[in-house]
Structure 1
Amino acid sequence: MREITSGVVHPTIRELLSYATTMEKVDYELARYIDSSNRKLYEYLLNDEIVGFVVVRIITSQHDEIKHIAVLPKLRGQSIGSKMVKFVCEKHGLSLISAETDCDAEEFYRKYGFEVINLGEKYPGVKRFRCEYKVG
C-alpha cells in the first residue's frame, strides 16, 4: 500500500471513489482528502496496478474513521478490503477504527469483525450503520 501525498490523483482512484460516493462528489471529496492534514488516502497495488483505496480521518492517535473504501469490482471478495483495514490499523497504531456505511458495505464490516449498529434511516430511504472495531 502507498499513501497519496500529492495533488496528482490517478484516474483509477477517481473510478474507485465513484463506487463509494456519487460521481458528482468525486472531485469535492478528493480535494478534501488532499487538503486536509487529518485525512490520509492510501492506494492498494496489485502487480503495480491500483485496485483499491481507503481514506481515513484521524480522530485521535488511537482512533481513525474510514471515510471511503473501495476495491475494483472484478477483485472484490479476495480480502483486499480486509488487508487495507489491517494496514491502516497497524500503520496508525490504532486501538479503534470506525466507519459509517449503508447497506452495500454493512456485510463487509460485519465479516471483518466490526460491531455493526443500525442507525435507521438517517436520510429518507437510506438506512445507515455505525461500525466499530476494537483492535487487539
Structure 2
Amino acid sequence: MLQSVTEQVRDDRVAALVELAVFPDPEQVEQALAFYEQNEEAELLAYIEQGEMLGVVGFKPSGDKEITITHIAVDPGSRGLGYGRGMLLDLMVRERPERVIAETDEEAVDFYRSVGFSVIGLGESPSGLERFRCVYEADEEE
C-alpha cells in the first residue's frame, strides 16, 4: 500500500530509501530530501507491506494529466519481487495521469522498459553516465 511520507522525508528509513535513488553522494542525497521539503507539488510515497517500508516513489505534476517520477527505489533485500512495478502501477491508479515521464541511467532503463515505458537515449550526462528519457502513455481503458 502506498502512503505519503513527504512530511517524514527526514526520517532515517525514508531518507535511506531516497538515498538508494540518487548518486551516493551526501550532497545529492541532501538535494533530494530538500526537493520534497521545498516543492509543495512534489510528493513522496512509501510502499508499506505488513508494517515494513519496502520502497519509495516520488513524483511531481509536470503538465496537464502528466507526472514526472523524481525518485524510485526499492530496499535491496526486496528487489526483483515486483515492488517497483507495483509502486508505479499503484501510483498510476492513484493519480490517473495520461503520461508518466522518468529520466534514468543505464542501470534502471530496463526496469522502465519492462513496465511498458518507451525509452529515448539522451546521451551522456556531465558525470559521464548515459541518460535516458522514459515515457509511459496510458491508454484510455487503463
TM over 0.5: yes
Q: In the TM superposition, what is the alpha-carbon distance from 1:124 to its structure 2 partner?
A: 4.3
Alignment gaps of 5+ in structure 1: none
Paired positions, count = 136
The equivalent residue for 1:101 is 104
Aligned partners of 2:114 and 2:108: how far apart in 1?
A: 10
Q: C-alpha separation between the residues in 2 aligned to 1:108 and 1:27?
A: 25
Going from structure 1 to structure 2, the CA distance change for 1:7 and 1:124 (only over 3 Å counts) comes to: closer
Q: Identity of paired residues, percent?
A: 32
Partner of 1:130: 133
Unaligned 5+ segments in structure 2 are none
Alignment pair present for 1:48 and 2:51: yes
Contact kept? 1:52, 1:80, Cα under 8 Å? yes
* Residue 72 of structure 2: aligned partner: 69
TM-score by length of 2: 0.88
Partner of 1:110: 113
Asked if the contact 1:7–1:34 (Cα under 8 Å) also holds between the matched residues in 2, the reply is: no
**Is 2:87 aligned against 1:84?**
yes
Normalised by the size of structure 1, how large is the TM-score?
A: 0.92
| Secondary structure of the corresponding residue to residue 7 of structure 2 | coil
Runs of 4+ residues over 3 Å off in structure 1 = none
